[in-house]
Structure 1
Amino acid sequence: MAESLDVPVAFTDPEYINAVVDLLGVIAYGEISAFERLAEDAKLAPSLEDKVALASMAATELGHVQGLHDRIRILGGDPFAAMAPFRQAIDEFHAHTAPADWYEGLIKAYVGDGLASDFYREIAAYLDPDTRDVVIRTLDDSLHTAFVIERVRSAIAADGRLGGRLALWGRRLMGEALIQAQRVAAERDALTALLAGGVDRPGLDLAALGRMFTRLTERHQDRMSELGLDA
């Protein structure tokens, strides 16, 4: 596990610094994209109560960005330069997974964003404690959980056919999210180096990487079950 900031080993390693800035950059742009998407999806809300709930979720996502930007600056990076390399990949993911209706939007907010959060939590295990704390606070989705589960379960109970369609949608999101996660990790040398480890830092071999993606799949299945859907 990485040492704290007052231990110079990791923080005199430029590969580590670059990797952390990359990670914070991709998470920050992901939060901005989530804000934009949730604000747009709020227009599909069937009630004013639902509209306000989704808008509040969007505001929460945007509120996370400042802490990530602050951390990037502490590490000597520029937040907007750090986000820029990930814009195309994240925008393409959202373009390929645009929800067709209110319920698909809820599934995406809970299942799709949950998969991304799980991936970044896995990487956070290889960070220094201060940066790890920033990442974990940012990825807290507890406010989303109860609202989405209640709305989706109620809708399925009222229309059994909806469950089959949403289950297929959830499986599609799973595939698209894993492809995106692998692409982000593979295309950025610094992130690959972070996963590989370094001085005083553990890394992932191929077997450990496989176990990580198994855990991501299992957590996806748990979320689908909570929604009353088949994974």
Structure 2
Amino acid sequence: MSNPALEDPTYRTGVIELLGLLAAGEIGAWMRLAEDAAMAPDLRTTTEIGAMATSEFGHFAQLRDHLVALGEDPYARMEPFRSTFDAFHVKTRPSDWLEGLVKAFVFDGLAADFYREIAAFLDAETRELVLDTMSGTGSSEFVVDAVRGAIEADPRVGGRLALWGRRLMGEALSQAQMVVAERDDLSALLVGGVDSPGMDLAAIGRMFTRLTEAHAERMAKLGLAS
């Protein structure tokens, strides 16, 4: 695959790391949603969650195939991030199908926002791939209806899920900050992108503020206080 931007070895390494991170996140989301589907209370909900899982796998396949086209082993590029995602999922294991839905909604939205921020510093071809794979699972309406319906049926559910959403956001932000801090080549994408001068520390702080604000808006859609 010919992409002149990837001729810069430092930039290429950062892009490959980013794609490996994305792929690891997508395959992890697929696995967790498949588990959540088993907790669903009825066939319709099982099917909807299964469709969400299928969408995540499709995104993974796009990233995997792109890495292969770049001459990379996608599984080797995903491996460094496996323990990070495993640790996150262990800390945020849902106790029921509603917590699973909120987790998928919150984490999918946060991941999409985070990677869209990074995409601003990528070359056009890589940016298009990242934005396409972060385009969502098409399940937002189902999740919002299901959560709001559960709260309407039992208002006590709202308090529990609001606390759960705050916990998820805290864990997810910690994970994102850790990944950026620990992966030098990924950090290089943020501080010195292809199509822009990149971010300084203050700008990175403002980015995380925007992520937090977007999370609050998503929680409001669910009928939950952030």
2:202 corresponds to 1:210: no
Aligned positions of 1:40-189 closer than 5 A: 40-141=35-136, 143-189=138-184
Q: Among residues 194, 197, 219, which one is paired with 2:192 in the alignment? A: 197
State the TM-score, normalizing by the size of structure 2. Answer: 0.95
Runs of at least 5 residues in structure 2 that lack an aligned partner in the other structure: none
Deviation of 1:199 after TM superposition, in Å, equals 6.5
Change (3 A) 1:221 1:199: closer
- How far, CA to CA, are the matches of 1:213 and 1:207 in structure 2? 10
Residues in 1 aligned to 2:189 and 2:179: alpha-carbon distance in whole angstroms:
13
Q: Residue 17 of structure 1 contacts residue 75 of structure 1 at CA under 8 Å; is this kept in 2?
A: no
Distance 2:116 2:195 in 1: 20
Given that residues 29 and 83 in structure 1 are in contact (C-alpha distance below 8 angstroms), is that contact kept between their aligned partners in structure 2?
Answer: yes
1:75 Cα deviation (Å)? 3.1
| Counterpart selection for 1:39 from 29, 34, 39 | 34
Question: Number of matched residues?
Answer: 226
Q: Percent identity?
A: 58
Distance 1:48 1:127, change over 3 A: same
The CA deviation string for residues 156-179 of structure 1, in whole angstroms up to 9 with x for no partner, is 011111101100000000000000
Counterparts of 2:53 and 2:193, CA distance in 1: 37
Aligned equivalents of 2:194 and 2:187: distance in 1? 15
> What's the C-alpha RMSD, in Å, of the aligned pairs?
1.6
Structure with larger RCO (C-alpha < 8 A, sep 6+): 1
Scaled by the length of structure 1, what TM-score is found? 0.93
- 1:29 Cα deviation from its structure 2 partner: 0.9
